[in-house]
Structure 1
């Protein structure tokens, strides 16, 4: 009997709560304009896949002698993962630089958790790894970031200015 006296009030509360959720709130707004949500933040760095890499950046499957950068602007390719603390520091810096140098360079991002094949094929063993593709000259790579976000941004800017955007 004691269980029943506890169960009945709980059941009544549940019935009344469910009855209150009959959708009248949604009907009240019917026909009224909905406030616009914040526009999505514009991204300048581009998330890419292995297929994109092979068709737009470098097709390394055709052999060493046929490897040539396929892009029309210099590029940085960032190999990252969500669990990587240095990657989380570098990501907003690269996004900022992609915006600053918009139209002059590309900043691409490869998620090593979802794009494991390309990471393995390119021998990416530590992250973050950055591969730089100048228009003339050979691609080169670096791993890791500087000691502070400010030094990291300075490091990237120096590479962009001295290596990627140097006169052709």
Structure 2
């Protein structure tokens, strides 16, 4: 399998970025190759296209499947497993956010709650900072939960409003403050 220059640059960049995102370089490259492929690829095609070992390809595909970022496909008349990525970019984004939340945010929130409930006492400053951090993460995860429930079209519309929403909040906060003073 020969990659075009565009594909090769994208795949190499994704491999480099993968290590910054906490995944193996080869895993990032496998994902990038599948993302750009117009048809599902089997492990042999991936191995050949990236010039990596078959075992690296297998391990990378397993990791991507664990993240729900690749889909197993069967090609009629072929017994090999083929892989592809979701077509919808918003679905991919939602998967990534959900998986990062599950793997990084949720355990941290659990630990913060545990420290507040059963941790050593006597360090008022540390206790206050832990409580403050837990409250902020709970606020953010609550917002995430609300956004996760929105249909993609409504979420995109909300995101495109961006600073207009902030302006509206500023205006309503000012109106609230004025009515409170009276």
- TM tier, shorter chain? under 0.3
Question: Which structure carries more strand by proportion?
Answer: 1
TM-score relative to the length of structure 2 = 0.23
Question: Which structure carries more helix by proportion?
Answer: 2
User: In terms of Rg, which structure is larger?
Assistant: 1
TM-score relative to the length of structure 1 = 0.25
